[in-house]
């Protein structure tokens, strides 16, 4: 059961990564030649984000999302990276909702820290240090469970439908919290309570993150009205299926580890 469910990570398959250069076009089925065409609704069941709405959002070249933890460090999912150490192979795109915009800021990675002890079950976080700081706002992370409730926002450039292509424009959606006991009824022992938090419309489905959204943030407003990250897109059974909420790495569980790892990167 564990192996079966964990196979539905929300990153891209190798073949999909290779196709990303032309699939980041409007629409959810095939690339289109008209650069002004509207994309299909996405993240699944979402709408297009406006420029500057979530300025800390980052698209990573391996087909994942992320958020600026500092101006030089991206917080993403452990399953998006291949271990820890020097790494100059990742390109982070930031500052735009349209990945084809000439205003996009593109910066190479220099080093990666994957969650210590990550084995595919829980602990799904990683940090990517960039070659230089990006002059954009950052997204603070939750360091306790106070905000692990209510309605969350998710955003990403991933597929707008299960099995669909990646999106050119950043898409957003709202998803409600699903408690651990309810989520375990769907996923059984595949869920790692304490390491993971669930969200989605359990009865009807229809709104969810999907392949290519892995590593992106799940966030909400704190008591001061500022955005705070409570989850990292991790996995799920398909995308937006009734009875199967999205599963996210629970940021508050790992906040101290993330801070320590960021300090070690010096960013």
Which of 23, 84, 165, 214 does the annotation list as catalytic?
A: 214
Which of 23, 28, 109, 124 does the annotation list as catalytic?
A: 124
Q: Look up the CATH number of the domain holding residue 259.
A: 2.40.10.10
124 classed as catalytic: yes
CA distance 68 to 46: 22
79 classed as catalytic: yes
Domain extent at residue 28? 1-267
* pLDDT tens by residue, the chain, 267 residues: 333 334 367 666 433 333 333 222 222 222 222 333 333 333 889 899 999 999 999 999 999 999 999 999 999 999 999 999 999 999 999 999 999 999 999 999 999 999 999 998 899 999 999 999 999 999 999 999 999 999 999 999 999 999 899 999 999 999 999 999 999 999 999 999 999 999 999 999 999 999 999 999 999 999 999 999 999 999 999 999 999 999 999 999 999 999 999 999 986
195 classed as catalytic: no
CA distance 32 to 21: 13
Which of 23, 28, 79, 195 does the annotation list as catalytic?
A: 79
Q: How confident is the model at residue 27, as a pLDDT?
A: 26
Q: Provide the domain count of the chain.
A: 1
């Amino acid at each position: 059961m564990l192996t079966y469910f964990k196979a539905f990570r929300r990153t891209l398959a190798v073949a999909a990564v290779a196709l990303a250069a032309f699939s980041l076009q409007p629409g959810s089925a095939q690339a289109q030649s008209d650069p002004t065409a509207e994309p299909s609704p996405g993240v699944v069941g979402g709408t297009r984000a406006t420029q500057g709405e979530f300025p800390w959002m980052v698209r990573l070249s391996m087909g994942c999302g992320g958020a600026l933890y500092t101006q030089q460090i991206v917080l993403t999912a452990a399953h998006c990276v291949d271990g820890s150490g020097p790494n100059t192979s990742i390109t982070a795109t930031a500052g735009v909702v349209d990945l084809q915009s000439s205003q996009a800021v593109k910066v190479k990675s220099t080093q990666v820290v994957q969650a210590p002890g990550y084995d595919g079950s829980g602990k799904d976080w990683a940090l990517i240090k960039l070659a230089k700081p990006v002059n954009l706002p950052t997204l603070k992370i939750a360091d306790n469970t106070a905000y692990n409730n209510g309605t969350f926002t998710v955003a990403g450039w991933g597929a707008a439908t299960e099995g669909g292509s990646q999106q050119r424009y950043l898409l957003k959606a709202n998803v409600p919290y699903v408690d651990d006991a309810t989520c375990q009824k769907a996923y059984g022992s595949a869920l790692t309570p304490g390491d993971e938090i669930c969200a989605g419309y359990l009865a009807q489905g229809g709104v969810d993150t999907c392949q290519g959204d892995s590593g992106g943030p799940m966030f909400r407003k704190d008591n001061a009205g500022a955005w705070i990250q409570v989850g990292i897109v991790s996995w799920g059974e398909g995308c937006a299926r009734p009875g199967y909420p999205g599963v996210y790495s629970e940021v508050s569980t790992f906040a101290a580890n993330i801070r320590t790892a960021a300090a070690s990167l010096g960013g």
